[in-house]
Structure 1
Amino acid sequence: MEARFPYKPRRHQLEVAGIIREQLRRRNVVLEAPTGFGKTPVVIYALLPFLERGGRVVWTVRTGNETDRPVEEFRVFRERSGVKLVALSLRGKRDMCLLARRFGDNLDYDDVSYICSREKNRCPYYRRLREGVNLQPFIDAGALTYTYVYEKASALGVCPYFLQRELLKVADVVALSYNYVVDEGMSWSIRTVFPFKESILVVDEAHNLQNLNLGGDTITEGTMERAYSEALEIGDSDSAELVRYTRERVKEKYSGLQEEESEVFDPEELLPQGFEDTLENALRSGEAIREKRFREGKRPQSSLYHFASFFKAAVEAEGIDGIALVVERNNGRLHLSIWDMRAGEILSEVWKSFKRVIFMSGTLTPLEAFAETVGLEDYYPISVPSPYDETNASVYLVRDLTTRGEELSDEMAEKYVRAIAKTLGRVRRNTAVFTASYRIQNKLLEKGLVDTARSLGYTVFLERREMSGVEAHATLQRFKSLAETGSGLLVAPMGGRFAEGADYPGEELMCVFLVGVPFEKPTTKTRLYIEYYQRLYGEEKGRLYAYVYPAIRKASQAIGRALRGPRDQAVIVLGDYRYQHYMPLMPDYVRELAKPITHDTLDSIEPPWERIRL
């Protein structure tokens, strides 16, 4: 049995695999294990007997971009352990449609679905696929990543998306984004080929489940402006008047909102009297605009259609407990959102549609709270101790820094900049400053963080709200490229794309400085979330579940970026005295190693690599 594990086993790996295998016979499993443990190969190893008996596995990840990871791990099992299984990375039509490329870039899922529904029967790529494709070369390859399938399909001149559908029939494992499981409208397309009831579901990075906005939607001031222009352009004066009236009502009622502030809105107060027929007419006009643009070979998008469908959904959602209709100001513009907070209620039904479910993450503490908030009842909890000690990490809790309060004062922001400077001057390694929010981040920049870091020889990289995926990837690669000189400084919010999900092995990141505790700003939106959870779980638990635990998980995720394996070393600075109150929720090595310090003595910290080189 052990010989089939493709790596030299780390501490607890085979033991945990055995426990998972045993427990899956009768219940679900929740696995919390630290970064560097090797959760993916352990879970695959545990599932091998089930797969070899003809069982199937659905492996879900947060985004489509991450679907290749488990497939690459299955490749290792095929090459080193002789496992003859087919694992498929499945991506949506937006990534896989060859025909859609002629309609331009930046198409979203709805655009490509629209194009496919209209052109499918005339599409040359789909027609060639229906004529037949030899699947044997794919079965022989076994580990079918997104790129592999896309390139092979392109070379054959067949549709990559529907080739995936054919490959689903022969796959033992499919890796896909959460949406294909939790969204009823998308999951049916998988279930019909890959029966869920006979499959084990793996939920990777499961700490993200609580924040899923299932069925939510957002429009902005920009959406309304474009919708108005579209209605005028096609001569639909009734729809133009509907949008104009609503846009003016939104501005009149909410123009006083400050950045990141929010309020509840009533859709019927923003729409004119007798709006029902006019809204349906706007929906039809929006659909006609999509059709016209499609015929012209343009992106089949319509802001008028989005406006009308949003308000139709908002009117239907009004009054449903667990759905909030919220208007907030972000980046200077008003955003109206349908926000569905009912993760536990909706997800509990999803889990029942599978044979068993494995949830895994490095940050699920406390496990009971996690299970309750995602609607999980019958499960076996596994918590793996971290492999890190004083040879891996030096952890400091700064007693005289905090972001507590409505605003970060100039004096405290300047203290933070000095503290970060002292830390940078001491460690001389690639460092990440992860902030409690963009608001805090901007305050540090205002107080000269960039110039201060540059004066110490660091190149500074910033995460921005409006960053595209391509730009973010390029930024991350440039930061990582400075690992050898240790002269990169990454500044990003906790909970953002650089503080969660990104890997920084070895010397790519050797110091993490947390600026504050990432509690949500006490806005109307935050209050609604806490109140909903308090109705579900009681006053005390509700506040912990909705407000405290998610914040500490974000902080723990950020800390975990620096330690990806047992030979990694890092300095961790907890830059807020309030972390001492939440130590029981922090990773075990943080609890054990944290030393108190003041901001003006951070130049005396002792990096672990000066004690021992691993």
Structure 2
Amino acid sequence: MNLFPYRPRPGQREMVEDIAAAVRSKQHIIIESGTGTGKTICALVGCLSASLDSGKKILYLTRTNSQQQQVLKELRRINEIRSVYGLGLQGRQSTCPLARRDPELRSGTPEELSRLCTEKKRRTIDELEGGCRFYEQTIAMAFDEIERYVFSEIPTVEEFVDYCDRRGICPYELAKELASKATVVTAPYAYFFVQFIRDTLLDWMSVPISDLVVIVDEAHNLPDYAREVKTLNLSRKALRHVEKEVNEFGNLEILDGVSILDIVSAMDEALDSAVEEYLLDEDGLLPTNFLEERLLHAFTLTSKMLELATRELMVQGEIIRERKKEAGRLPRSYIFSLGAFLNFWMNIEERYYVKLILGGDNPSFESYCLDPSIAAAPLLDCAASVHMSGTLSPLIEYRDSLGLPSSSPMKSFPSPFPKRNRRIFFVDDVTTKYEDLAQDQEIVEKIEDYIVNICNGVRRNTVVFFPSFNLLQRFLSDGILYRIKRKVHIEERGMSQSDLMETVTRFREGAEQGAVLFAVVGGRVSEGLDFPDRELELAFIVGIPYPKPTAKQRALLHYYEMKFGRGWEYTVRAPAYRRMLQAIGRLIRTDTDIGVAIILDRRAKQFSDRIELELTQDALGDVLRFFEEREKEGRVSSEKTKMRKVHTNTSE
């Protein structure tokens, strides 16, 4: 604990020691610990204590900028005790001065931006047109001055970008140079779980993966993220982009008598057939060879000829990417992407993937990865790893899903906050089970009555979490807003981050009068935002947020049943439990916060083995009594504090 910059709170010493022991033993430790337990500082101190003198480096992976900022701020405190160099990284989209000023570049993939950047740097060095003025300034800058600033101040990425902007230099290029001298690097998940970016990062850090300790923050997100990283999609809109590219660069023949537009036309027809034959609601499971058979039939090809066609698409696409790069444009080719998708689709390991048709306004083919352990496999090559979240239970499911060793330590730390500050009630006379909602309008009316009566009877900032945007919209259509006598704000499907934050800010500012926010479990409000003090004191969970039984979800359940014999537990019950806990967790962020959660679904009782639930027959009354008791305790505590101060002053 020599590096710990604060007075340890209950549980923190044990957490640091557990992490340090796991790192020394080259293990992969899984830790569940709620908000306010100091996971960030404990992980940093534990990993540093075990690795500082062994030449190992630490990669701290985060999902959001705010989490990354917290890592760097904690490193500043550690740096006051012992010199520990820390560095925050973000992608070129966020830090490249050219990309930040150009929407087209900002939309580029890491690989596309890397190719363009390499070309612009070459032109700068060779003093040719089309170079980069920021890179020119960067290589002329005194590097020692920048290094002193970064490793003495440990700035956030935003602060470092501002520092570089004022000097007309490139923060991305400088961060690459600084990474080799940093003991701790904090970066988004993609920097480790996308192979192209991981290989680049290890080179920057001058460290073999065997000497890297990885910390995964908000690790409950990792299984879904790891599946998506290995999933590939081709949409109708992408085919339209291919057509535009053909109009610009020409409709070349890729086989005798078969042009690029012929392939596009056949893909369009295959999409139409898939939608018509296999789409059920949101998606549909496709036969393994559905797309290949459509393309083979359309052009009377052999499988070998079809493979040659996909490779030729990639060759022609690569030529276009080079031409765009030389012209100073984003080196993107939709023709290349079409060929790469078809090549991937035809060669995937079918035991790990499922082939789907997705519906909506922009239907698409998707090769969905069922197994997150594929993307997570490089963790096993690391010196050690630490996986942390407030909602990881059941820990064994997380361990199994990511393919971590069965010997991996698993620890759950209790909340440091007084239990009396939070109550979780549920009612047993309603449910959002699909069959019941469809057959009984009275259930919908009862749920609405609960929400309306408690919102009108309790003037506290309240979030109503619905299991889906569709159900939220159903209640809006039924006119619930006209019955609630408080200001109601709404998280809308697809709203921009800036619009969402504006909505949340208005909700927070309504704490004195008691505002209401309608949101969705599993959305950005339920997982990524803090509401301290009176910003949130009451939360409804409308229904149990089980995953929708789509073709994708059914395939996932089947895969986990075959692999672990626990399909329902791992793919339905565990995600629903985590989503509920994430939403409920918004209530208590400090030891002085108080809050009540009400689950409006009789099925909540199924989770009583994991959540401290209380059945209520008088929801409004129980909520009012809770707040009256807490306020009374607060007044008594305040009076005792005043008396102690008076006594102290008198004694002096």
The question of a shared fold, defined as TM-score above 0.5 by the shorter chain, is answered with: yes
**From 630, 633, 642, the counterpart of 1:612:** 630
User: Structure 1 residues 16 and 604, CA, compared in 2 at 3 Å: closer, same or farther?
Assistant: closer
Deviations 1:411-441 (A, max 9, x none): 4333222221122123322222222222222
Task: Indicate the larger mover: 256-265 or 170-179.
Answer: 256-265
Aligned partner of 2:562 in structure 1 is 535
**Would you say 1:340 and 2:369 are equivalent positions?**
yes
Aligned partner of 1:374 in structure 2 is 402
Aligned partner of 2:118 in structure 1 is 117
Per the TM alignment, residue 296 of structure 1 is displaced from its structure 2 partner at its CA by: 6.2
Per the TM alignment, residue 313 of structure 1 is displaced from its structure 2 partner at its CA by: 1.7
Aligned partner of 1:383 in structure 2 is 412
Contact 2:465 2:541 in 1 (8 A): yes
Which secondary structure does the structure 2 equivalent of 1:67 belong to?
A: helix
**From 347, 350, 353, the counterpart of 1:316:** 347
| Counterpart Cα distance in 2 of 1:235 and 1:603 | 72
TM-score, normalised to structure 1, is 0.89
| Counterpart Cα distance in 2 of 1:87 and 1:228 | 47
Per the TM alignment, residue 119 of structure 1 is displaced from its structure 2 partner at its CA by: 1.9
Contact 1:149 1:164 in 2 (8 A): no
Aligned partner of 2:584 in structure 1 is 559
Which secondary structure does the structure 2 equivalent of 1:200 belong to?
A: strand
User: Structure 1 residues 206 and 419, CA, compared in 2 at 3 Å: closer, same or farther?
Assistant: same
Deviations 1:198-246 (A, max 9, x none): 2321111111122122322223222223323433454417212211221
User: Structure 1 residues 267 and 475, CA, compared in 2 at 3 Å: closer, same or farther?
Assistant: farther
Which secondary structure does the structure 2 equivalent of 1:408 belong to?
A: helix
Aligned partner of 2:643 in structure 1 is none
Amino acid in structure 2 at the alignment position of 1:505: P
Q: Which has the larger radius of gyration?
A: 2
Amino acid in structure 2 at the alignment position of 1:87: G
Which secondary structure does the structure 2 equivalent of 1:201 belong to?
A: strand
Per the TM alignment, residue 60 of structure 1 is displaced from its structure 2 partner at its CA by: 0.8
Amino acid in structure 2 at the alignment position of 1:28: H
| Counterpart Cα distance in 2 of 1:270 and 1:475 | 47
Which secondary structure does the structure 1 equivalent of 2:526 belong to?
A: coil
Contact 2:86 2:151 in 1 (8 A): no
Aligned partner of 1:254 in structure 2 is 275
**Would you say 1:241 and 2:283 are equivalent positions?**
no
| Counterpart Cα distance in 2 of 1:133 and 1:328 | 50
Aligned partner of 2:446 in structure 1 is 415
Equivalent residues in 2 for 1:13-24 (5 A)? Answer: 13-24=12-23
Deviations 1:33-71 (A, max 9, x none): 112212112222323423542542111112466422211
| Counterpart Cα distance in 2 of 1:604 and 1:180 | 48
User: Structure 1 residues 117 and 444, CA, compared in 2 at 3 Å: closer, same or farther?
Assistant: farther
Deviations 1:16-35 (A, max 9, x none): 22333334322332211112
Per the TM alignment, residue 388 of structure 1 is displaced from its structure 2 partner at its CA by: 4.1
| Counterpart Cα distance in 1 of 2:154 and 2:446 | 51
Which secondary structure does the structure 1 equivalent of 2:464 belong to?
A: strand
Which structure features the higher share of helix residues? Answer: 2
Amino acid in structure 2 at the alignment position of 1:367: L
**Would you say 1:209 and 2:210 are equivalent positions?**
no
Which secondary structure does the structure 2 equivalent of 1:14 belong to?
A: helix
**Would you say 1:475 and 2:503 are equivalent positions?**
yes
5+ residue gaps, structure 2, are: 124-131, 253-258, 635-652
Aligned partner of 1:152 in structure 2 is 163
Deviations 1:315-368 (A, max 9, x none): 222x521112211224x4323222112212442x32222211111111111222
User: Structure 1 residues 192 and 390, CA, compared in 2 at 3 Å: closer, same or farther?
Assistant: closer
Q: Percent identity?
A: 27
| Counterpart Cα distance in 1 of 2:331 and 2:60 | 32
Contact 1:64 1:176 in 2 (8 A): no
Contact 1:60 1:204 in 2 (8 A): yes
Aligned partner of 2:616 in structure 1 is 597
Which secondary structure does the structure 1 equivalent of 2:433 belong to?
A: coil
Contact 1:416 1:444 in 2 (8 A): no
Deviations 1:462-493 (A, max 9, x none): 231x2233333333333323234321x22222
Contact 2:371 2:401 in 1 (8 A): no
Which secondary structure does the structure 2 equivalent of 1:10 belong to?
A: coil
Which secondary structure does the structure 2 equivalent of 1:85 belong to?
A: coil
| Counterpart Cα distance in 2 of 1:130 and 1:480 | 46
User: Structure 1 residues 601 and 144, CA, compared in 2 at 3 Å: closer, same or farther?
Assistant: closer
Amino acid in structure 2 at the alignment position of 1:610: E
**From 546, 551, 557, the counterpart of 1:524:** 551
**Would you say 1:97 and 2:126 are equivalent positions?**
no
Amino acid in structure 1 at the alignment position of 2:181: V
Amino acid in structure 2 at the alignment position of 1:156: R
Deviations 1:285-328 (A, max 9, x none): 544555566566655544444333222221222x5211122112
| Counterpart Cα distance in 2 of 1:439 and 1:336 | 24
Task: Indicate the larger mover: 528-537 or 293-302.
Answer: 293-302
Equivalent residues in 2 for 1:418-429 (5 A)? Answer: 418-429=449-460
Contact 2:243 2:261 in 1 (8 A): yes
Contact 2:616 2:622 in 1 (8 A): no
Aligned partner of 2:641 in structure 1 is none
Task: Indicate the larger mover: 388-397 or 334-343.
Answer: 388-397
Contact 2:588 2:595 in 1 (8 A): yes
User: Structure 1 residues 480 and 264, CA, compared in 2 at 3 Å: closer, same or farther?
Assistant: farther
**Would you say 1:133 and 2:154 are equivalent positions?**
no
**From 224, 235, 239, the counterpart of 2:239:** 224
Task: Indicate the larger mover: 515-524 or 69-78.
Answer: 69-78
Deviations 1:89-115 (A, max 9, x none): 111111121233454354232442342
**Would you say 1:451 and 2:469 are equivalent positions?**
no
Which secondary structure does the structure 2 equivalent of 1:192 belong to?
A: helix
| Counterpart Cα distance in 1 of 2:283 and 2:620 | 35
User: Structure 1 residues 478 and 86, CA, compared in 2 at 3 Å: closer, same or farther?
Assistant: farther
**Would you say 1:361 and 2:385 are equivalent positions?**
no
Which secondary structure does the structure 2 equivalent of 1:580 belong to?
A: helix
Amino acid in structure 1 at the alignment position of 2:429: D
5+ residue gaps, structure 1, are: none
Contact 1:216 1:337 in 2 (8 A): yes
Contact 2:418 2:591 in 1 (8 A): no
| Counterpart Cα distance in 1 of 2:137 and 2:248 | 40
Amino acid in structure 1 at the alignment position of 2:353: I
Per the TM alignment, residue 190 of structure 1 is displaced from its structure 2 partner at its CA by: 1.4
Contact 1:32 1:382 in 2 (8 A): yes
Which secondary structure does the structure 2 equivalent of 1:584 belong to?
A: coil
* Count of paired positions: 595
TM-score, normalised to structure 2, is 0.84
Contact 1:417 1:448 in 2 (8 A): no
Contact 1:463 1:498 in 2 (8 A): no
CA RMSD, Structure 1 to Structure 2 (Å): 2.7
Amino acid in structure 2 at the alignment position of 1:605: V
| Counterpart Cα distance in 2 of 1:326 and 1:585 | 34
Task: Indicate the larger mover: 502-511 or 566-575.
Answer: 502-511
Amino acid in structure 2 at the alignment position of 1:39: K
